[in-house]
Structure formats: structure tokens, C-alpha cells
Structure 1
Amino acid sequence: MLHLKRPLVFFDLEATGTDPQTARIIQIGLQRFVPNDQGAALDETIDVLVDPKQEIPAAVTDLTGLSPGAVRQAPPLDAHLGRIAPLLADADLAGYNALAYDVPLLKAEFERHGQTLPGPDDRVVLDPYRLEQVLRPRTLSALYERYTDRTLDDAHDALRDVEAAGMVLQRQLAEHDIEGTPADLAQQIRGDYLDDQRRLKQDGSAVVVCFGKHDGKTLREIQSDHPDYFDWMYETIDDLRPHIDDVLE
């Protein structure tokens, strides 16, 4: 149970893309909780559509069910900020994958409208996605116990770890009813990322860099605005070079 000392705002943003620096919000869902004797009480709820003033990719419509026509009839973001800002001003934040996506996106959108994301200096962000990684560790021993209900004896013995990894994989496939070749499974794991180290990611028609000091910028932005860094990346990281060639050909 949560025991609040100040308000806590759960929120989720749907947007035109996956890069917080370039995406625009199309829907805001928000619930504000305040402290009470039982720990927390719902104070206010917001569920609004937002006109992003840009095209909505078909993939986003397929994912969210929000048609461009419906969104274009909604007010733009600046019409909502006056209502949202006071709800955030004294609150901590919470949301699924909020640390990686929703908080940076909301901060960027406030800045695009000449404002600073309001909130206490010691604000915390609770992310259930990150908490799950702590509560359910993903070491081989933890996965083996989770999928087999047995303790992995002799962990870190090479052959024993090989046997355990094979057992975990088979149980994963059976539990989730997954079939396919190793290549099929590798592609499913990789998702929108172009490489196994998750340094380049497909975002609509653009490819976004997911590491280093230009994390979140598109490959073409880096090539145009930071040519020295682009040249270093191209010449130094051998396994990214074929992907960069495919993007920029």
C-alpha cells in the first residue's frame, strides 16, 4: 500500500512517435492522488485528446485506435497545460515506463511551449516497469527458479548454466505458446531495434540513436548537426556501419 506524504500523479501519454524529443502528445490520461488516513485518495482524473498539429503515423493509429480526424477536433496542448500544471506542481509522478518515455516527453512539451515542467525539486518518479525489474530479478538463477520451481544448484558452473539456460528457454516458449526458428525469436526480441545492443531504433521512417551524448536524436540529425560525432560512430562501431549504410543509402 502506498503511504503518501504529498500528492502523487499517475499519468500516461500517447504520442505521434517513440522519441520524446520529436514526438507530440495526442492523448493524456492522468489521476491525481492525495494523502489521507488510509494512505491515498483519488483527487482528480483527466482524460483528454490533444491536437498535435502534425501528422499521426498510421502505426500510431493502429496502436492507439485514435484516428487523425478525432484528434484534429481536439484542443491543442497549450489549451490543456493551464489545467494540468497545477496538478503537477506539488506532486511526485508515476507511470509505466515513465522514466524512459513519458516524463522526458512531458518535459519536452512544456519546454516547447516556453514553460518548465512544474514540480518539487526533490520529486521522485515511480515506474512500475523499473520496480518489476527489481522485484523479479532476471539472473539465470532467478529465471530458472521461476520457470522450474527448483533452485539452480552450482550456478556459475559453465555447463550447469548451459543446461539451465536451455531449460529456461524451453519453458518460456511453452508457457507463452511461442513457435519459430532462432532467427524468428531473435527478431521478436530485437523488436524495433536494428542491432542486438539496442543502439539504433526504428521510429517510423526515422532511425533514432539510443546511446551516448546524442541519445534520442535521429541518425540524420546527427549526420547534419554533429558530423564529427557521426564520423566517429561510423568509423569506430563496426557492427553499426551496415545499418547506417542501409538508412542513408
Structure 2
Amino acid sequence: MLHLERPLVFLDLEATGTDPQEARVIQIALQRFVPADDGATLDASLDRLVDPQQDVPSDVTSLTGITTADVQGHPTFDALTSSLVPLLEDADLAGYNALAYDLPLLQAEFERAGQSLPGPSDRVVLDPYRLEQVLRPRTLTALYERYTGRSLENAHDAHADVEAAGAVLQHQMAEHDLDATPAELANLARGDYLDDGRKLKQDGNQVVVCFGKHSGKTLRQLQSDHADYFDWMYRTIDEIRPHIDDALG
């Protein structure tokens, strides 16, 4: 049971892109829970389309079903802040991947509206994605036990580990009904990232840098505004050079 000491707001945002500093919100949904004798009770909710004052990219429409026409005529984020403040100003926050995306996006939108994100100075942000990584560790030993129901004997012995890795892969494919080549599985695991080191990510028609001091900028922004850093990256990081060529060539 979840025991609340103060209100907790579950948050999810849909937006025009994956960079929380550049994206604009197109939908916001909140559920506000307050302390109760049985743990928590729903106090208020909000689900609104938001006009980002720009076109909704086609890949975002494919993902969310929200088109540019859908959001036209709806309030801008700026216009919604007066409704959001009472829900957020005394509450902790929760949301899946909220620490990496929804929270910085929400902060950026409030800043664009000329305000600070309202909330307690000691606000807690509960992210089930991060919690899952702790509750279900992804070590080979943990995965082997989860998928096979057996303890992995002699963990960190090379022979035992190589057999366990094969067993885990077979169980993963069976559980998720996968029928694929190694290359197809590697692409599935890579997701929107272009390289195994997760340094570059596809975001619509742009490629975004996902590491270092310019994380979140597109390759074209980096090439235009930070040419020295771009040149260093291109010269020294062999694994991403072909992807840069493909994106900018």
C-alpha cells in the first residue's frame, strides 16, 4: 500500500519531440491523490489537449494519434498554468520516466510561461521506471533466475555465464513470441538509438546527441553552433561517424 504524507500527482505529457528542452506539450494528463485512511484517494484529475503553437510532427501523430488540427483552438500551455498551479503547488510528483522526460519538459514549459514550476522545496519525484530497475535488477544472475526459476550456480564463472546468457535469450524470445535474426534483435534492443553506445538518437527527421555537455542538441545544431565540438566528436568517436554521415551527408 502507498502511504501518502501529502498529495501525489501522477503526470504524463505528450509532446512534439523527445528533447524535453525543445519539445512543446500537446497533451497533459494529471491525477491528484491525497492522503486517506486506506492510503490514498483520487482528489482531482485533468486531461487536456494543448496547442503547442507549432505543427505536430508526423512521427508524433503516428505515435499518439494527435494531429495539428486536433490541437488547434485548444488552450496554450501558458493559458493552462492557472489550472495547473493548484494541483501541483503542494504535491509530490510521479510518472513513468518522469525524471528524464516529463519533469524537465514541465519545468521548461513553465519557464516559457514566465513562471517557476510550483511545488514544495523538498518535492519527491517518484519514477516507476527507475524503481523497476531496483526491484527487478538486470544482472545475468537476476535474469536467469527470473526466466528459468532456478538459481545460477557458479555465477561469474565464464562457462556458467555463457550458458546462462544463451538460456536467458531463449526464454526472452519464447516469452515474447519473437522470431528474428540476431541483427533484428539487436535493432529491437537499440530502439530509437542509432548506435549501441546510445550516443545518437533518431527524433523524427533529426538526429539528437545523447551524451556530453551538448546532450539534447541535434547534429545540425551542433554543427552550426558548436563546430569545434562537432569536429572533435566526428574525428574521435568511430562508432557514430557513419551515422553522422548518413544524417548530414
Bucket of the pairwise TM-score, normalised by the shorter protein? over 0.9
CA–CA distance in structure 2, aligned partners of residues 30 and 174 of structure 1? 37
Map of 1:188 onto structure 2:
188
CA–CA distance in structure 2, aligned partners of residues 221 and 43 of structure 1? 43
Q: What is the CA distance between 1:68 and its match in structure 2?
A: 2.2
CA–CA distance in structure 2, aligned partners of residues 54 and 221 of structure 1? 19
Map of 1:161 onto structure 2:
161
1:67-108 Cα distance to aligned partner (Å, 9 max, x none): 322211311111111110221111110001111110011111
CA–CA distance in structure 1, aligned partners of residues 74 and 246 of structure 2? 38
1:23-53 Cα distance to aligned partner (Å, 9 max, x none): 1101110011112222222111001000111
CA–CA distance in structure 1, aligned partners of residues 232 and 85 of structure 2? 41
Map of 1:207 onto structure 2:
207
SS in 2 for 1:185: helix
CA–CA distance in structure 1, aligned partners of residues 48 and 135 of structure 2? 33
SS in 2 for 1:211: coil
Map of 1:173 onto structure 2:
173
Is the CA contact 1:21–1:217 (under 8 Å) kept in the aligned structure 2?
no
The alignment yields a C-alpha RMSD, in angstroms, of 1.1
Amino acid at match of 1:9: V
Unmatched 5+ residue regions in structure 1?
none
Map of 2:137 onto structure 1:
137
Q: What is the CA distance between 1:56 and its match in structure 2?
A: 0.8
CA–CA distance in structure 1, aligned partners of residues 217 and 43 of structure 2? 37
Q: Would you identify which runs of 4 or more consecutive aligned residues in structure 1 move more than 6 Å?
A: none
Q: How does 1:51-130 map to 2 (within 5 A)?
A: 51-130=51-130
CA–CA distance in structure 2, aligned partners of residues 201 and 61 of structure 1? 19
Is the CA contact 1:145–1:152 (under 8 Å) kept in the aligned structure 2?
yes
CA–CA distance in structure 1, aligned partners of residues 58 and 51 of structure 2? 16
**What TM-score do the two structures reach when normalised by structure 1?**
0.97
Amino acid at match of 1:58: S
**What TM-score do the two structures reach when normalised by structure 2?**
0.97
Identity %: 72
Amino acid at match of 1:141: T
1:180-212 Cα distance to aligned partner (Å, 9 max, x none): 111111111111111001110000011111111
Map of 1:235 onto structure 2:
235
CA–CA distance in structure 2, aligned partners of residues 230 and 114 of structure 1? 32
CA–CA distance in structure 1, aligned partners of residues 29 and 13 of structure 2? 7
Unmatched 5+ residue regions in structure 2?
none
Q: What is the CA distance between 1:228 and its match in structure 2?
A: 2.1
Amino acid at match of 1:91: A
Amino acid at match of 2:198: R
Q: How many residues align?
A: 249
Is the CA contact 1:107–1:116 (under 8 Å) kept in the aligned structure 2?
yes
CA–CA distance in structure 1, aligned partners of residues 189 and 126 of structure 2? 26
SS in 1 for 2:245: helix
CA–CA distance in structure 1, aligned partners of residues 208 and 71 of structure 2? 26
Q: How does 1:16-35 map to 2 (within 5 A)?
A: 16-35=16-35
